A and B are shown apart, each in its own frame.
Chain A
Amino acid sequence: MYKWFLAWRYLNTKLIAFFGIASVMLCVAMVLVVLSVMGGFLDTIRARSRGLHSEVVLDTGTAQGFPYYEEFQEYLAQELPDVVRISTPAVHSYGVFRVPATTYTRPAKVFGIRLDEYVQVNDFEKGLYYNRYFPGATHLGEQSMPVAGITEDGAIKLPEALEAANKRWREAETDQKILREFDELPFEKTLYPDVRAFMPATRVFAVAPGPPSFEGPERAGVIVGCDLLNYRRPDGNFDRTIARGADIALTLMPLSPTGNPTGEPPVRLPLRYADDSRTGIYEIDSLCVYVDHDVLQHQLAMDAQPLVDGGYTKPRINQLLIGLQPNADLNRSRDRISEAWRRFCVGVPDLSETDARLLANVEAYTWEDMQRTFIQAVEKEKVLVTFLFGLISMVAIVLIGCIFYMIVEKKTKDIGILKALGASGHGVGGLFVVYAGAVGVVGSLLGLFVGSVFVWNINDIQDLLARLNPQLRVWSPEVYSFDRIPEVVKAADAAWVAVVAVLSSIVGSMIPAWIAAKVWPVKALRYE
């Protein structure tokens, strides 16, 4: 009993113990922060990867894509109704993104999607900015620029379709705080036809005297990655400087089925800014734009093209995105779809040599397969960084060893007294092990608290530092893909870190405890 009693008493009264507690606390906090941030990083990549793609993707990995996708969609619907819930085609290419009003240009990866189907196979809809406040108003079809009107009493009114959409959102939104925020940050106006906002704002619409209207020629809509067009503030929100519905131009270069340029000059595709999209992955949000599948397929000459013999080529896509039935096993579904694709290819009649080569390149991937290289790299990085910080934390073991050696030296007389009163060597050694364990427990609990509070507020801390000095912004979205540092502490991680810290404290105290056990009581009692 004396081991527990004295360990508790030493813990309360010995100043030196607080140095041990402080070292354990700092190590626990440090490892917890690293583990949480890296773990959060990995989880975010997984979650985002899951939401980026469909569950299964049929992909060639080539720029010219593959044909016969419509036939395969029908084949899938007939053959695997228990597996496939929905499938939707996608084409993609690279081009030059341009805002004519500002002559701002950027290279871009252009995706052709069927928006209504695309949002059913992944989380794309969640990242659409205007669609959140004006649900259902974002589309990629032909559209003019919405221009808000100014009523007689000076109020700004959007066209009826947008006002109705906003009303739907208001009625559905239960969080009064979000509604209040929307009203406190009214959209910034810009005078039509000058599409440049007066100042950066969160929502930008053109405004003209008179009733609200849609102005300008109808053009296909484009959804733009939020980092491609907008300025990101230090708090992570975006300043939008381009009014919704503004002109956007994309310059594209079509390829033939053999992968050669078609010989036509590059295509300039006029579009209208319909919304911006935020996946949270910087590489995507700073590069990708989304237009209607049929428009892009046509512009890239991937639709049915006339042949000299009077026939037509088969339309091509780059990916077939497949959403699975609820509870369908991911890997098994991929395998079944892959088998279905092989069977389908065998049955395609009159297959040309070029098309046969394109079909042969097609493979079925799960979303995990698509991101495996990246996810594995981050997993290894997490293990490596945790190992390195864990190694650094081993310093705590040495520190605990030093501190306990000093404590044993200082408590030599107490050791002699205890032995004179009948305590065994093992018992006295155990006292210091229990004491170290108590230091470990207290240090770990404090470390978990400090580390957790730090992780939970890590973005605020970074924002504060960045306000003091922009150079102090350590989390760069360009480097780490995500605009915000993960701020979730997992209970399992915290428990592991705490257990290892307590064990480390005990290990650190072993040599001093052994020395204490071996103290010769006669010598210790002459210690005066």
Chain B
Amino acid sequence: MNDLLRAKGIHRTYGQGHTEVKVLRGVNIDVANGEFLVVMGASGCGKSTLLHILGALDAPDRGSVEFRGENLFQRSAAAQGHYRNHEIGFVFQFYHLMPELNVLENVLIPRLVTHSLWTWGRAKQESRAAAAQLLERVGLSGRARHRPNELSGGERQRVAIARALVNRPALLLADEPTGNLDEVTGADILKLLVELNDAGQTIVMVTHDAKVASQAHRRVHLSEGVIRETTQNSGKEPVRVSAARIAP
């Protein structure tokens, strides 16, 4: 068995006024090392909620998420923070870049979270080099000093991907990364993600776009709070890389 992440019996209910909305009703999902997994489903079916729970941004009412065999939600808050900072990288539909920072600084933010004022002096040079290398890889080396408002949507998403990868996470969680982009730009981003996966990066992506989902190794369909269908894309096999990480 080579599961990186395993979610078992995930339940999540949100209160909306006096009514309760049962978003997830016992989701089971496994993610293998090096796999490119897509979670599909209609709008509001709980895809993003599931992604947030996998990323320890939200906690399930019931069920567990094991990362490398260890239940995330039995960890301390600090350990969960460490998990978000070191083990996963988030890519959001709306990029969520910090407008006051330039491209390079946005990419460096996870590193700044990792280090204290005292350790940053030693890590600064290596971190900047890693961020610059990632920007080159996503094709934005010439825009390092630009602010997010000076970039196109596709460029912003590339910055967000570079930021998600700067701490070399084992798992990239992407929440509709092409959902806010036009078809051509979305295809570029998807191509980048596929390249990253080909290099060994494990990716869990949420989308409702079947064309986008066709690029993944495996698709799961979320409906009425449970996984209804799992489809293995033909001819797509995950690259088996132990503890695969993208070297920036």
By a beta-carbon cutoff of 8 Å, the part of chain A in contact with chain B is 1-2, 4-6, 9-10, 13-14, 413-414, 416-425, 427, 521-522, 525, 528
Contacts and interface: CB of A to CB of B under 8 A. Distances in A.
A439 to B, nearest CB: 16
Given A10-B100, A13-B100, A422-B81, A2 B112 contact: yes
B113 A528 contact: no
Given A2-B109, A413-B96, 20 more contacts: A1-B113, A1-B115, A1-B119, A2-B113, A14-B100, A416-B96, A417-B96, A417-B97, A417-B98, A417-B109, A420-B57, A421-B85, A422-B82, A422-B83, A422-B85, A424-B78, A521-B57, A522-B52, A522-B57, A525-B57
Contacts of B101: 9
B200 interface: no
B114 A422 contact: yes
Contact of A1 (B85, B94, B120): B120
Q: Is the interface of B mostly helix, strand, loop or mixed?
A: helix
B11 interface: no
B90 interface: yes
A419 B120 CA distance: 19
B78 A528 contact: no
Given A1-B116, A2-B109, A2-B112, A420 B81 contact: no
Contact of B86 (A6, A413, A422, A528): A422
B117 interface: yes
11 contacts: A1-B113, A5-B105, A5-B112, A420-B57, A420-B92, A422-B81, A422-B113, A423-B113, A427-B81, A521-B57, A521-B58
A522 B173 CA distance: 14
A249 B82 CA distance: 93
Contact of B113 (A427, A521, A522): A427
B77 interface: yes
Contacts of A420: 55, 57, 84, 90, 92, 96
B110 interface: yes
Contacts of B81: 419, 422-424, 427
User: Which of B77, B113, B119 has most A Cβ within 10 Å?
Assistant: B113
Contacts of B100: 6, 9-10, 13-14
Contacts of A521: 57-58
Given A9-B101, A414-B98, A421 B57 contact: no
A521 B86 CA distance: 17
User: Which of A9, A420, A427 has most B Cβ within 10 Å?
Assistant: A420
User: Which of B58, B81, B94 has most A Cβ within 10 Å?
Assistant: B81
A422 B77 contact: no
B220 to A, nearest CB: 21
B179 to A, nearest CB: 12
Q: Is the interface of A mostly helix, strand, loop or mixed?
A: helix
Contacts of B94: 528
A421 B111 CA distance: 9
B248 to A, nearest CB: 16
A14 B105 CA distance: 17
Contacts of B109: 2, 417-418, 421
Contacts of A416: 96
Contact of B110 (A10, A13, A421, A425): A421
Nearest to B89: A421
User: Which of A2, A423, A427 has most B Cβ within 10 Å?
Assistant: A2
A416 B84 CA distance: 12
Nearest to B167: A422
A373 B73 CA distance: 70
A410 B91 CA distance: 22
Nearest to A14: B100
B156 to A, nearest CB: 13
B160 to A, nearest CB: 10
Contacts of B90: 420-421
Given A413-B96, A417-B96, A528-B94, A522 B114 contact: no
A351 to B, nearest CB: 80
B52 A1 contact: no
A418 B96 CA distance: 10
Nearest to A434: B117
Interface string B64-108: 000000000000011001111110001010101110110001000
Contacts of B110: 421-422
Nearest to B83: A422
A5 B124 CA distance: 12
A512 to B, nearest CB: 18
A4 B96 contact: no
B78 A525 contact: no
Given A1-B120, A522-B57, A421 B84 contact: yes
Contact of B77 (A6, A421, A424): A424
Nearest to B175: A525
A1 B55 CA distance: 23
User: Which of A5, A9, A417, A423 has most B Cβ within 10 Å?
Assistant: A417
A339 B98 CA distance: 79
A424 B85 CA distance: 10
Nearest to A413: B96
A414 B148 CA distance: 14
B149 to A, nearest CB: 12
A4 B118 CA distance: 11
B113 A418 contact: yes
Interface string B2-23: 0000000000000000000000
